[in-house]
Structures are given as C-alpha cells and as structure tokens.
Structure 1
C-alpha cells in the first residue's frame, strides 16, 4: 500500500532504514548514527507532513500487509509558476526487490502527480551504474535528457548522475513514437 508519510511513522521509518542500511548506503548520502533513530525519523515524518501541507513535497511510504515500511516514493521540490515540475526519488526494501514494486509505485506516483497535483513534468536522477532504477524510469515513460557531472554527494563523494524526465500530459506512446 502506498500512502503519505504521517506523524507517528518515526518508529517504522527507523526500522525500515536500519534494516536497509547496507542496501541503501551506495545510493544515498552518508548518514550519521542519529539519522537511524526513532526521534530523528519522527522529526522527519513531521517535516514531511509540513512540507505536504505547504505544497513543497509529498513523500510516501510503501507499507506491507504487516504494517512495516518496505520503501519510499518521494515527490520533492515541487515548483509551480512557469515550471510545474518536481523531482522523483524512491527506494525499495532489499527483501522486496525484483518484484515490480518500484515500477508499480512509480506509475502510481506519476498518475497522482498528473491528476492531483496537475504537474507538467517529473524529473529523476540516477547514478550512472544504477541500471535497475534506470529500467524502472524508462519503463514508466521517462526519457534520458542528460548527464549531470558531480550532481549529488552520494556515499561520501560527488557523483555524476543521468537525468531523466517524464512529461505528464503526454501519453507514453507520444514520446516514444517521435523521431
């Protein structure tokens, strides 16, 4: 189940990040010990709620039948004005990989972004060697738009990223059929 992060999610977020600490380390910023605490994750959950209310971002959790958090889907940096765009970020629990969960959740978030948020464009970035995430994006109609040198500080180093976008008003086939 995909649902917005809510107040009170701190303990479940802490468990999710602790159980995925090694799995996520190569793909995320370096985290200090305090990041993994219930208190830190509860503060983060409160920030997620505030950011959603202010229209800055909407962050979701993927919750399994047992109530545990098995991943995240984040619509970050929502910009209106002439841009109407946002950045997509996500991760899936190591025990749930290769089941199509990321692809289905990204599709749901794109639909939500188009119908509820009325966004024009969604952007995502992946490390050059993150082929799994690139497959998820391409399968959801994203197109590669460029290379961003030293784009984000991941695993303690400034790393190059591939940039992708999806124009949300267009059907998937419209972009793929263009010469």
Structure 2
C-alpha cells in the first residue's frame, strides 16, 4: 500500500509538468512526501519550484517551512548557482507571512539548520514570526550566530563567496 501511495502522486505531478523530474523525488524523504500530498499536510503554497507548510513543532506563533518542491540536499550541498533558489525560498516565506497578516518583517527569523544539526536532509527554510515571541527552547534552536543555525542572508553570502574562491 505504501508503494502505491508513493508512486501515484509522483506520476500525477509528472504528467502535469515535465519540469518535475523523477530524480527530484526521494520516497524516503518526509518533505518530498509532503509536497507530493502523501502525508495529508496542508500546503500553504505549492508550485513547480517551491512549496510551503507549517512546522509540526512551531517555535513561534507563525512557523513555516519553505522547501524546494524538487528534492535538494542540505545547506552544505549548495553552490553559488543555488543563490536564486535560496532567495526565492525567502520571498515565498515573506509572501506567506503577508497572507497571514504578519507585516513587521523586522521581527522575523529566516534561516536554516547547519548540518549535522538538521533533522531532515531536504533543504528547508525556517520562517519564524514574530521572533520576539519565540520561547526559550526556540531561541536556542534558532539562535543567531550559532554553529547549528545560519540565516538566509548568511547562507547567500557564503554561497556567493564560494563562487569567488573557485
């Protein structure tokens, strides 16, 4: 039965668009299964490139995960060519916040857990708002300037510097 569930949504998505290749889906990846509607998770946004859903363990009143619809590894696997993708993840996060009446973008945290501190290897941007209302544990898990969490801006800067060093 699980094999049928994993196969049917991928076939449906591929028939709708040729830009979602079969190799962009990892049946063992929970986020791939979510974006293919196999988990019953509400998708707040879904297109050929980006999907968004709520975090199951919210660290703030608004806590969303914005992911590439196609399977992409974690932050360490990215290169300079991924900068537009990271920027689109952030832009989608901002759109979702605005749709949910969060207008103070100065009180938002956009970031990624740095390997090995990520529980899912599918690239995912954490969007937390208002950051000022995060509890003690969330402030620890999503702490700025830590070994385990990097902001979207820091990741973009890092990826752009990778291109300069090549």
Q: TM-score, normalised by structure 1?
A: 0.37
Flag the structure with higher strand content: 1
Higher relative contact order (CA 8 A, sep 6+): 2
Q: TM-score, normalised by structure 2?
A: 0.39
Flag the structure with higher helix content: 2
